[in-house]
Structure 1
Protein backbone atom coordinates (compact mmCIF):
# COMPACT_ATOMS: atom_id res chain seq x y z
CA UNK A 1 0.00 0.00 0.00
CA UNK A 2 1.55 3.28 -1.14
CA UNK A 3 0.43 6.30 0.82
CA UNK A 4 1.74 8.94 -1.61
CA UNK A 5 2.63 11.29 1.21
CA UNK A 6 6.22 11.87 0.05
CA UNK A 7 7.47 14.82 -1.96
CA UNK A 8 5.85 15.21 -5.38
CA UNK A 9 7.99 14.98 -8.53
CA UNK A 10 9.03 18.09 -10.36
CA UNK A 11 6.21 19.23 -12.65
CA UNK A 12 8.47 19.97 -15.61
CA UNK A 13 10.10 16.51 -15.39
CA UNK A 14 6.70 14.84 -15.16
CA UNK A 15 5.37 16.68 -18.22
CA UNK A 16 8.51 15.87 -20.22
CA UNK A 17 8.36 12.18 -19.28
CA UNK A 18 4.74 11.59 -20.24
CA UNK A 19 4.99 13.78 -23.31
CA UNK A 20 7.81 11.53 -24.50
CA UNK A 21 5.53 8.50 -24.12
CA UNK A 22 2.34 9.94 -25.54
CA UNK A 23 3.22 12.74 -27.94
CA UNK A 24 6.30 11.53 -29.81
CA UNK A 25 5.55 9.73 -33.12
CA UNK A 26 6.48 6.05 -33.20
CA UNK A 27 7.79 4.29 -36.31
CA UNK A 28 6.39 0.76 -36.17
CA UNK A 29 8.35 -1.84 -38.09
CA UNK A 30 5.79 -3.81 -40.08
CA UNK A 31 7.18 -7.31 -40.54
CA UNK A 32 5.91 -10.14 -42.82
CA UNK A 33 3.47 -11.26 -40.09
CA UNK A 34 1.26 -8.25 -40.93
CA UNK A 35 0.71 -9.66 -44.43
CA UNK A 36 -0.26 -13.04 -42.96
CA UNK A 37 -2.82 -11.46 -40.64
CA UNK A 38 -4.23 -9.35 -43.47
CA UNK A 39 -4.71 -12.42 -45.72
CA UNK A 40 -6.48 -14.29 -42.90
CA UNK A 41 -8.84 -11.39 -42.22
CA UNK A 42 -9.76 -10.85 -45.86
CA UNK A 43 -12.52 -13.47 -45.76
CA UNK A 44 -14.15 -12.14 -42.54
CA UNK A 45 -17.62 -10.63 -43.06
CA UNK A 46 -17.68 -6.95 -41.96
CA UNK A 47 -19.71 -6.22 -38.84
CA UNK A 48 -23.11 -4.59 -39.31
CA UNK A 49 -23.26 -0.83 -38.56
CA UNK A 50 -23.75 -0.14 -34.87
CA UNK A 51 -26.81 1.99 -34.02
CA UNK A 52 -26.59 3.50 -30.54
CA UNK A 53 -30.01 4.36 -29.13
CA UNK A 54 -30.95 6.41 -26.05
CA UNK A 55 -31.92 3.12 -24.38
CA UNK A 56 -28.36 1.83 -24.87
CA UNK A 57 -26.97 4.96 -23.23
CA UNK A 58 -29.46 4.68 -20.37
CA UNK A 59 -28.55 1.02 -19.78
CA UNK A 60 -24.80 1.75 -19.83
CA UNK A 61 -25.20 4.64 -17.43
CA UNK A 62 -27.43 2.57 -15.14
CA UNK A 63 -24.62 0.06 -14.51
CA UNK A 64 -21.99 2.76 -13.88
CA UNK A 65 -21.02 3.83 -10.32
CA UNK A 66 -22.81 6.95 -9.19
CA UNK A 67 -19.91 8.96 -7.82
CA UNK A 68 -16.90 7.74 -9.74
CA UNK A 69 -14.33 10.48 -10.40
CA UNK A 70 -15.64 12.69 -13.21
CA UNK A 71 -13.75 14.07 -16.16
CA UNK A 72 -13.04 17.66 -17.08
CA UNK A 73 -16.75 18.48 -17.17
CA UNK A 74 -17.15 17.51 -13.48
CA UNK A 75 -20.27 15.46 -14.30
CA UNK A 76 -20.88 12.30 -12.27
CA UNK A 77 -22.84 9.29 -13.47
CA UNK A 78 -25.51 10.08 -10.87
CA UNK A 79 -26.67 13.10 -12.84
CA UNK A 80 -26.62 11.26 -16.14
CA UNK A 81 -28.96 8.69 -14.62
CA UNK A 82 -31.36 11.38 -13.43
CA UNK A 83 -31.49 13.38 -16.64
CA UNK A 84 -32.84 10.68 -18.93
CA UNK A 85 -34.93 12.49 -21.55
CA UNK A 86 -38.65 11.72 -21.34
CA UNK A 87 -40.17 13.95 -24.01
CA UNK A 88 -43.77 13.11 -23.14
CA UNK A 89 -43.32 14.01 -19.50
CA UNK A 90 -41.44 17.19 -20.33
CA UNK A 91 -44.12 18.29 -22.81
CA UNK A 92 -46.86 17.61 -20.28
CA UNK A 93 -45.06 19.63 -17.63
CA UNK A 94 -44.45 22.47 -20.09
CA UNK A 95 -48.10 22.55 -21.18
CA UNK A 96 -49.27 22.60 -17.55
CA UNK A 97 -46.86 25.42 -16.78
CA UNK A 98 -48.12 27.47 -19.74
CA UNK A 99 -51.74 26.84 -18.75
CA UNK A 100 -51.03 28.09 -15.24
CA UNK A 101 -49.32 31.20 -16.60
CA UNK A 102 -52.21 31.91 -18.98
CA UNK A 103 -54.72 31.50 -16.14
CA UNK A 104 -52.69 33.83 -13.93
CA UNK A 105 -52.47 36.46 -16.66
CA UNK A 106 -56.20 36.12 -17.32
CA UNK A 107 -56.95 36.81 -13.65
CA UNK A 108 -54.62 39.81 -13.66
CA UNK A 109 -56.29 41.21 -16.79
CA UNK A 110 -59.76 40.71 -15.28
CA UNK A 111 -58.71 42.41 -12.04
CA UNK A 112 -57.20 45.30 -13.98
CA UNK A 113 -60.32 45.66 -16.14
CA UNK A 114 -62.61 45.66 -13.11
CA UNK A 115 -60.43 48.18 -11.27
CA UNK A 116 -60.20 50.42 -14.34
CA UNK A 117 -63.98 50.29 -14.79
CA UNK A 118 -64.59 51.21 -11.15
CA UNK A 119 -62.06 54.04 -11.32
CA UNK A 120 -63.59 55.50 -14.50
CA UNK A 121 -67.12 55.20 -13.11
CA UNK A 122 -66.13 56.95 -9.87
CA UNK A 123 -64.45 59.75 -11.76
CA UNK A 124 -67.42 60.08 -14.12
CA UNK A 125 -69.79 60.16 -11.14
CA UNK A 126 -67.94 63.19 -9.78
CA UNK A 127 -67.88 65.04 -13.10
CA UNK A 128 -71.04 63.99 -14.99
CA UNK A 129 -73.57 61.81 -13.16
CA UNK A 130 -76.06 61.91 -16.01
CA UNK A 131 -73.55 60.44 -18.42
CA UNK A 132 -72.66 57.73 -15.90
CA UNK A 133 -76.27 56.65 -15.44
CA UNK A 134 -76.80 56.65 -19.19
CA UNK A 135 -73.78 54.41 -19.68
CA UNK A 136 -75.08 52.00 -17.02
CA UNK A 137 -78.62 51.87 -18.41
CA UNK A 138 -77.80 51.93 -22.11
CA UNK A 139 -76.57 48.61 -23.56
CA UNK A 140 -73.12 48.57 -25.06
CA UNK A 141 -73.27 49.02 -28.84
CA UNK A 142 -70.59 47.21 -30.80
CA UNK A 143 -71.02 49.08 -34.09
CA UNK A 144 -69.83 46.09 -36.11
CA UNK A 145 -72.78 46.16 -38.53
CA UNK A 146 -72.79 47.71 -42.00
CA UNK A 147 -71.78 51.37 -42.08
CA UNK A 148 -74.13 54.03 -43.48
CA UNK A 149 -73.70 55.34 -46.98
CA UNK A 150 -71.02 58.03 -47.06
CA UNK A 151 -73.03 60.42 -49.25
CA UNK A 152 -76.10 60.13 -46.99
CA UNK A 153 -73.96 60.74 -43.91
CA UNK A 154 -72.34 63.86 -45.39
CA UNK A 155 -75.71 65.22 -46.52
CA UNK A 156 -77.30 64.63 -43.10
CA UNK A 157 -74.60 66.34 -41.04
CA UNK A 158 -74.12 69.12 -43.60
CA UNK A 159 -77.80 69.94 -43.17
CA UNK A 160 -77.22 70.34 -39.43
CA UNK A 161 -73.90 72.16 -39.43
CA UNK A 162 -73.42 73.97 -42.75
CA UNK A 163 -76.85 75.43 -43.50
CA UNK A 164 -77.35 79.02 -42.25
CA UNK A 165 -79.89 79.43 -39.45
CA UNK A 166 -82.03 82.54 -38.96
CA UNK A 167 -82.68 82.96 -35.25
CA UNK A 168 -85.84 84.84 -34.30
CA UNK A 169 -84.96 87.34 -31.59
CA UNK A 170 -88.05 88.13 -29.51
CA UNK A 171 -88.68 91.03 -27.12
CA UNK A 172 -87.17 89.02 -24.27
CA UNK A 173 -83.70 89.75 -25.62
CA UNK A 174 -84.22 93.49 -25.03
CA UNK A 175 -85.34 92.77 -21.45
CA UNK A 176 -82.20 90.71 -20.78
CA UNK A 177 -80.00 93.39 -22.34
CA UNK A 178 -81.53 96.09 -20.12
CA UNK A 179 -81.02 93.94 -17.03
CA UNK A 180 -77.36 93.32 -17.89
CA UNK A 181 -76.60 96.97 -18.61
CA UNK A 182 -75.70 97.70 -14.99
CA UNK A 183 -73.35 94.71 -14.64
CA UNK A 184 -69.73 95.71 -14.17
CA UNK A 185 -67.66 94.36 -17.06
CA UNK A 186 -65.14 91.69 -16.21
CA UNK A 187 -61.53 92.76 -15.96
CA UNK A 188 -59.47 92.00 -19.06
CA UNK A 189 -58.04 88.49 -19.06
CA UNK A 190 -54.28 88.26 -19.50
CA UNK A 191 -53.08 84.81 -20.58
CA UNK A 192 -49.47 84.12 -19.60
CA UNK A 193 -47.13 81.23 -20.49
CA UNK A 194 -47.58 79.98 -16.92
CA UNK A 195 -51.33 79.67 -17.53
CA UNK A 196 -50.66 77.59 -20.63
CA UNK A 197 -48.15 75.40 -18.76
CA UNK A 198 -50.62 74.81 -15.92
CA UNK A 199 -53.44 73.91 -18.33
CA UNK A 200 -51.23 71.49 -20.25
CA UNK A 201 -49.78 69.96 -17.08
CA UNK A 202 -53.16 68.52 -16.04
CA UNK A 203 -53.91 67.09 -19.50
CA UNK A 204 -53.42 63.38 -20.31
CA UNK A 205 -50.18 62.71 -22.17
CA UNK A 206 -51.44 60.52 -25.00
CA UNK A 207 -55.05 61.56 -25.49
CA UNK A 208 -56.20 61.47 -29.13
CA UNK A 209 -54.66 64.41 -31.02
CA UNK A 210 -56.33 66.64 -33.58
CA UNK A 211 -55.50 67.19 -37.23
CA UNK A 212 -51.93 68.18 -36.39
CA UNK A 213 -51.25 64.83 -34.66
CA UNK A 214 -49.69 66.62 -31.67
CA UNK A 215 -50.11 65.00 -28.24
CA UNK A 216 -50.09 66.81 -24.89
CA UNK A 217 -46.82 65.04 -24.08
CA UNK A 218 -44.92 67.21 -26.53
CA UNK A 219 -46.62 70.43 -25.42
CA UNK A 220 -45.48 69.65 -21.89
CA UNK A 221 -41.90 69.06 -22.97
CA UNK A 222 -41.46 71.89 -25.49
CA UNK A 223 -41.95 74.76 -23.05
CA UNK A 224 -40.70 77.27 -25.62
CA UNK A 225 -44.11 76.91 -27.31
CA UNK A 226 -46.00 78.14 -24.23
CA UNK A 227 -45.25 81.82 -24.86
CA UNK A 228 -46.35 81.51 -28.51
CA UNK A 229 -49.60 79.81 -27.53
CA UNK A 230 -50.26 82.41 -24.83
CA UNK A 231 -49.82 85.19 -27.40
CA UNK A 232 -52.16 83.48 -29.88
CA UNK A 233 -54.86 83.00 -27.26
CA UNK A 234 -54.49 86.62 -26.13
CA UNK A 235 -54.90 87.85 -29.71
CA UNK A 236 -58.01 85.70 -30.12
CA UNK A 237 -59.53 87.23 -26.96
CA UNK A 238 -58.66 90.79 -27.95
CA UNK A 239 -60.01 90.40 -31.49
CA UNK A 240 -63.07 88.43 -30.25
CA UNK A 241 -62.64 85.88 -33.00
CA UNK A 242 -61.02 82.48 -33.27
CA UNK A 243 -58.89 81.31 -36.19
CA UNK A 244 -60.37 78.46 -38.18
CA UNK A 245 -57.53 76.16 -37.11
CA UNK A 246 -58.79 76.48 -33.51
CA UNK A 247 -62.25 75.17 -34.44
CA UNK A 248 -61.32 72.59 -37.08
CA UNK A 249 -61.00 69.02 -35.86
CA UNK A 250 -61.80 65.38 -36.46
CA UNK A 251 -65.32 64.06 -35.93
CA UNK A 252 -65.89 60.43 -35.02
CA UNK A 253 -69.43 59.07 -35.34
CA UNK A 254 -70.35 56.76 -32.46
CA UNK A 255 -73.45 54.55 -32.98
CA UNK A 256 -76.28 55.06 -30.49
CA UNK A 257 -77.99 51.73 -31.12
CA UNK A 258 -77.98 48.79 -33.51
CA UNK A 259 -79.30 50.85 -36.46
CA UNK A 260 -75.85 51.39 -37.92
CA UNK A 261 -77.08 52.22 -41.45
CA UNK A 262 -79.05 55.32 -40.38
CA UNK A 263 -76.82 58.45 -40.18
CA UNK A 264 -79.15 60.03 -37.60
CA UNK A 265 -78.46 57.15 -35.18
CA UNK A 266 -74.88 58.30 -34.62
CA UNK A 267 -73.49 60.61 -31.96
CA UNK A 268 -70.67 62.95 -33.07
CA UNK A 269 -67.47 62.96 -31.05
CA UNK A 270 -65.11 65.80 -31.91
CA UNK A 271 -61.33 65.78 -31.51
CA UNK A 272 -59.64 69.18 -31.71
CA UNK A 273 -56.04 70.25 -31.39
CA UNK A 274 -54.73 69.84 -27.84
CA UNK A 275 -54.11 73.55 -27.26
CA UNK A 276 -57.77 74.41 -28.08
CA UNK A 277 -59.29 72.07 -25.49
CA UNK A 278 -58.34 73.89 -22.29
Structure 2
Protein backbone atom coordinates (compact mmCIF):
# COMPACT_ATOMS: atom_id res chain seq x y z
CA UNK A 1 0.00 0.00 0.00
CA UNK A 2 1.36 3.39 -0.99
CA UNK A 3 1.56 6.36 1.35
CA UNK A 4 -1.28 8.10 -0.46
CA UNK A 5 -3.49 5.01 -0.20
CA UNK A 6 -2.74 4.65 3.50
CA UNK A 7 -3.47 8.30 4.26
CA UNK A 8 -6.60 8.21 2.10
CA UNK A 9 -7.99 5.39 4.21
CA UNK A 10 -7.62 7.57 7.34
CA UNK A 11 -9.44 10.44 5.62
CA UNK A 12 -12.25 8.31 4.22
CA UNK A 13 -12.92 6.64 7.57
CA UNK A 14 -12.70 9.78 9.72
CA UNK A 15 -15.40 9.78 12.45
CA UNK A 16 -18.28 12.27 12.31
CA UNK A 17 -17.16 15.85 12.81
CA UNK A 18 -13.50 14.89 13.09
CA UNK A 19 -12.21 15.24 9.54
CA UNK A 20 -10.29 18.44 10.34
CA UNK A 21 -8.71 16.81 13.39
CA UNK A 22 -7.62 13.79 11.36
CA UNK A 23 -6.17 16.04 8.66
CA UNK A 24 -4.33 18.15 11.24
CA UNK A 25 -2.83 15.03 12.82
CA UNK A 26 -1.62 13.80 9.41
CA UNK A 27 -0.02 17.16 8.64
CA UNK A 28 1.63 17.30 12.06
CA UNK A 29 3.16 13.89 11.52
CA UNK A 30 4.31 14.49 7.96
CA UNK A 31 5.06 18.17 8.32
CA UNK A 32 3.73 18.81 4.84
CA UNK A 33 1.41 21.50 3.49
CA UNK A 34 0.71 19.54 0.32
CA UNK A 35 -1.30 16.84 2.08
CA UNK A 36 -4.72 18.32 1.30
CA UNK A 37 -4.20 18.67 -2.46
CA UNK A 38 -2.62 15.20 -2.66
CA UNK A 39 -5.58 13.66 -0.87
CA UNK A 40 -8.38 15.62 -2.53
CA UNK A 41 -10.03 12.45 -3.99
CA UNK A 42 -10.20 11.01 -0.47
CA UNK A 43 -11.71 14.24 0.89
CA UNK A 44 -14.31 14.18 -1.87
CA UNK A 45 -15.19 10.54 -1.20
CA UNK A 46 -15.53 11.23 2.52
CA UNK A 47 -17.72 14.28 2.00
CA UNK A 48 -20.00 12.64 -0.53
CA UNK A 49 -20.44 9.44 1.45
CA UNK A 50 -21.02 11.28 4.74
CA UNK A 51 -23.45 13.80 3.20
CA UNK A 52 -21.29 16.67 4.39
CA UNK A 53 -22.91 20.09 4.67
CA UNK A 54 -21.80 23.37 3.15
CA UNK A 55 -23.29 26.83 3.46
CA UNK A 56 -24.30 28.92 0.50
CA UNK A 57 -22.66 32.37 0.51
CA UNK A 58 -24.79 34.99 2.22
CA UNK A 59 -27.11 32.37 3.69
CA UNK A 60 -27.40 30.44 6.94
CA UNK A 61 -28.82 27.46 5.07
CA UNK A 62 -26.67 24.34 4.74
CA UNK A 63 -26.95 22.06 1.74
CA UNK A 64 -25.85 18.46 1.25
CA UNK A 65 -22.85 17.33 -0.78
CA UNK A 66 -23.32 13.82 -2.19
CA UNK A 67 -22.88 11.74 -5.30
CA UNK A 68 -26.63 12.01 -5.91
CA UNK A 69 -26.55 15.78 -6.53
CA UNK A 70 -23.13 15.95 -8.17
CA UNK A 71 -22.81 17.72 -11.51
CA UNK A 72 -19.14 16.81 -11.88
CA UNK A 73 -16.12 19.09 -11.77
CA UNK A 74 -16.71 19.84 -8.05
CA UNK A 75 -20.17 21.24 -8.70
CA UNK A 76 -23.40 20.21 -6.97
CA UNK A 77 -27.01 21.32 -7.05
CA UNK A 78 -29.78 21.80 -4.53
CA UNK A 79 -33.43 21.33 -5.45
CA UNK A 80 -34.83 23.40 -2.57
CA UNK A 81 -32.81 26.50 -3.42
CA UNK A 82 -32.92 25.93 -7.20
CA UNK A 83 -29.20 26.59 -7.32
CA UNK A 84 -25.90 24.94 -8.15
CA UNK A 85 -22.60 25.62 -6.44
CA UNK A 86 -18.93 24.77 -6.43
CA UNK A 87 -17.14 23.19 -3.51
CA UNK A 88 -13.39 22.71 -3.04
CA UNK A 89 -13.06 19.51 -1.02
CA UNK A 90 -9.37 20.03 -0.33
CA UNK A 91 -10.00 23.41 1.33
CA UNK A 92 -11.92 21.75 4.20
CA UNK A 93 -14.02 24.90 4.34
CA UNK A 94 -17.70 25.04 5.23
CA UNK A 95 -18.82 27.43 2.50
CA UNK A 96 -19.64 26.87 -1.15
CA UNK A 97 -18.73 29.26 -3.96
CA UNK A 98 -19.81 30.29 -7.46
CA UNK A 99 -23.53 29.89 -6.79
CA UNK A 100 -25.69 29.88 -9.90
CA UNK A 101 -29.35 29.47 -10.69
CA UNK A 102 -30.27 25.86 -11.46
CA UNK A 103 -33.40 24.55 -13.18
CA UNK A 104 -34.31 20.95 -12.46
CA UNK A 105 -35.12 18.98 -15.58
CA UNK A 106 -37.04 15.88 -14.59
CA UNK A 107 -40.32 14.16 -15.39
CA UNK A 108 -40.76 13.86 -11.62
CA UNK A 109 -40.36 17.55 -10.80
CA UNK A 110 -43.72 17.81 -8.99
CA UNK A 111 -43.04 14.63 -7.02
CA UNK A 112 -39.60 15.93 -6.03
CA UNK A 113 -41.17 19.12 -4.67
CA UNK A 114 -43.78 17.12 -2.77
CA UNK A 115 -41.13 14.81 -1.31
CA UNK A 116 -39.06 17.79 -0.17
CA UNK A 117 -42.02 19.13 1.78
CA UNK A 118 -43.09 15.85 3.38
CA UNK A 119 -39.55 14.67 4.14
CA UNK A 120 -38.84 18.00 5.84
CA UNK A 121 -41.95 17.55 8.01
CA UNK A 122 -40.71 14.08 8.92
CA UNK A 123 -37.28 15.46 9.81
CA UNK A 124 -38.70 18.25 11.97
CA UNK A 125 -40.77 15.72 13.88
CA UNK A 126 -37.99 13.22 14.54
CA UNK A 127 -34.59 14.96 14.49
CA UNK A 128 -33.29 17.82 16.66
CA UNK A 129 -31.01 19.02 13.85
CA UNK A 130 -31.09 17.63 10.34
CA UNK A 131 -30.71 18.34 6.62
CA UNK A 132 -32.41 16.68 3.69
CA UNK A 133 -31.95 16.36 -0.04
CA UNK A 134 -34.20 15.01 -2.78
CA UNK A 135 -32.73 14.45 -6.24
CA UNK A 136 -33.75 12.53 -9.37
CA UNK A 137 -31.15 10.03 -10.57
CA UNK A 138 -29.22 10.67 -13.76
CA UNK A 139 -31.51 8.48 -15.85
CA UNK A 140 -34.60 9.97 -14.16
CA UNK A 141 -35.92 6.51 -13.29
CA UNK A 142 -35.59 6.93 -9.52
CA UNK A 143 -35.58 9.63 -6.88
CA UNK A 144 -32.96 9.76 -4.11
CA UNK A 145 -34.06 10.91 -0.66
CA UNK A 146 -31.30 11.76 1.82
CA UNK A 147 -31.38 12.69 5.49
CA UNK A 148 -28.37 13.51 7.65
CA UNK A 149 -28.52 14.39 11.34
CA UNK A 150 -25.33 15.05 13.29
CA UNK A 151 -24.65 15.77 16.94
CA UNK A 152 -21.15 16.85 17.98
CA UNK A 153 -19.92 17.19 21.56
CA UNK A 154 -16.11 17.25 21.42
CA UNK A 155 -15.98 18.82 24.90
CA UNK A 156 -17.49 15.57 26.17
CA UNK A 157 -15.43 13.40 23.80
CA UNK A 158 -18.20 12.10 21.56
CA UNK A 159 -19.65 12.77 18.11
CA UNK A 160 -22.36 11.03 16.14
CA UNK A 161 -24.19 11.02 12.83
CA UNK A 162 -27.35 9.43 11.43
CA UNK A 163 -27.57 9.02 7.66
CA UNK A 164 -30.37 7.58 5.63
CA UNK A 165 -30.49 7.30 1.85
CA UNK A 166 -33.32 5.84 -0.19
CA UNK A 167 -34.09 5.31 -3.86
CA UNK A 168 -37.76 5.47 -4.74
CA UNK A 169 -38.84 3.98 -8.08
CA UNK A 170 -42.11 5.60 -9.18
CA UNK A 171 -42.82 3.01 -11.90
CA UNK A 172 -42.92 0.14 -9.39
CA UNK A 173 -43.70 2.06 -6.17
CA UNK A 174 -40.72 0.43 -4.44
CA UNK A 175 -38.32 1.91 -1.92
CA UNK A 176 -34.81 0.64 -1.25
CA UNK A 177 -32.15 2.20 0.92
CA UNK A 178 -29.74 2.16 3.81
CA UNK A 179 -29.79 3.64 7.31
CA UNK A 180 -26.36 4.22 8.86
CA UNK A 181 -25.41 5.23 12.41
CA UNK A 182 -21.86 6.26 13.29
CA UNK A 183 -20.99 7.23 16.88
CA UNK A 184 -17.48 7.84 18.22
CA UNK A 185 -16.69 8.06 21.97
CA UNK A 186 -13.09 8.74 22.89
CA UNK A 187 -12.69 9.78 26.53
CA UNK A 188 -9.93 7.67 28.10
CA UNK A 189 -10.36 5.20 25.27
CA UNK A 190 -11.62 4.82 21.74
CA UNK A 191 -15.02 3.26 21.12
CA UNK A 192 -16.86 3.52 17.82
CA UNK A 193 -20.25 2.21 16.80
CA UNK A 194 -20.81 1.65 13.07
CA UNK A 195 -24.09 0.04 12.13
CA UNK A 196 -26.22 -0.12 8.98
CA UNK A 197 -29.68 -1.36 8.11
CA UNK A 198 -30.89 -2.23 4.61
CA UNK A 199 -34.43 -1.17 3.74
CA UNK A 200 -36.71 -2.73 1.12
CA UNK A 201 -40.34 -1.67 1.10
CA UNK A 202 -43.38 -1.55 -1.11
CA UNK A 203 -44.99 1.87 -1.03
CA UNK A 204 -48.77 1.77 -0.61
CA UNK A 205 -49.42 4.55 -3.09
CA UNK A 206 -47.55 6.93 -5.34
CA UNK A 207 -47.89 10.14 -3.35
CA UNK A 208 -45.07 11.85 -1.46
CA UNK A 209 -46.91 11.19 1.80
CA UNK A 210 -46.97 7.44 1.06
CA UNK A 211 -43.24 7.39 0.33
CA UNK A 212 -42.29 9.27 3.50
CA UNK A 213 -44.68 7.11 5.54
CA UNK A 214 -42.72 4.05 4.43
CA UNK A 215 -39.48 5.81 5.39
CA UNK A 216 -40.87 6.75 8.82
CA UNK A 217 -41.92 3.16 9.49
CA UNK A 218 -38.49 1.80 8.56
CA UNK A 219 -36.62 4.35 10.65
CA UNK A 220 -38.90 3.90 13.65
CA UNK A 221 -38.40 0.14 13.58
CA UNK A 222 -34.63 0.54 13.33
CA UNK A 223 -34.57 3.03 16.21
CA UNK A 224 -36.49 0.57 18.36
CA UNK A 225 -34.07 -2.22 17.42
CA UNK A 226 -31.11 -0.02 18.38
CA UNK A 227 -32.68 0.86 21.73
CA UNK A 228 -33.21 -2.80 22.52
CA UNK A 229 -29.67 -3.68 21.46
CA UNK A 230 -28.14 -0.93 23.62
CA UNK A 231 -30.21 -2.01 26.59
CA UNK A 232 -29.06 -5.59 26.10
CA UNK A 233 -25.41 -4.52 25.91
CA UNK A 234 -25.62 -2.44 29.09
CA UNK A 235 -27.35 -5.18 31.07
CA UNK A 236 -25.66 -8.14 29.45
CA UNK A 237 -22.34 -8.18 27.61
CA UNK A 238 -20.86 -5.02 29.15
CA UNK A 239 -21.94 -5.99 32.65
CA UNK A 240 -20.32 -9.39 32.36
CA UNK A 241 -17.02 -7.83 31.31
CA UNK A 242 -16.56 -5.74 34.46
CA UNK A 243 -18.41 -4.06 37.27
CA UNK A 244 -19.89 -0.72 36.37
CA UNK A 245 -18.57 0.54 39.71
CA UNK A 246 -16.22 -0.95 42.33
CA UNK A 247 -17.68 -2.68 45.35
CA UNK A 248 -17.58 0.68 47.16
CA UNK A 249 -19.99 1.99 44.49
CA UNK A 250 -17.63 4.91 43.91
CA UNK A 251 -15.47 5.65 40.90
CA UNK A 252 -11.74 5.34 41.36
CA UNK A 253 -9.77 8.51 40.68
CA UNK A 254 -6.74 6.90 39.09
CA UNK A 255 -4.55 9.99 39.35
CA UNK A 256 -4.97 9.71 43.13
CA UNK A 257 -4.34 5.98 43.28
CA UNK A 258 -1.43 6.37 45.69
CA UNK A 259 -3.87 7.71 48.26
CA UNK A 260 -5.89 4.52 48.31
CA UNK A 261 -4.95 1.61 50.58
CA UNK A 262 -4.68 -0.66 47.51
CA UNK A 263 -2.30 1.83 45.89
CA UNK A 264 -0.13 1.89 49.01
CA UNK A 265 -0.02 -1.89 49.05
CA UNK A 266 0.91 -2.06 45.38
CA UNK A 267 3.54 0.61 45.78
CA UNK A 268 5.08 -1.04 48.79
CA UNK A 269 4.16 1.83 51.06
CA UNK A 270 2.96 1.90 54.63
CA UNK A 271 0.43 -0.79 55.53
TM range (shorter): under 0.3
Q: Give the alignment's TM-score, normalised by structure 1.
A: 0.17
Task: Identify, as 1 or 2, the structure richer in strand.
Answer: 2
Higher relative contact order (CA 8 A, sep 6+): 1
Task: Identify, as 1 or 2, the structure richer in helix.
Answer: 1
Q: Give the alignment's TM-score, normalised by structure 2.
A: 0.17
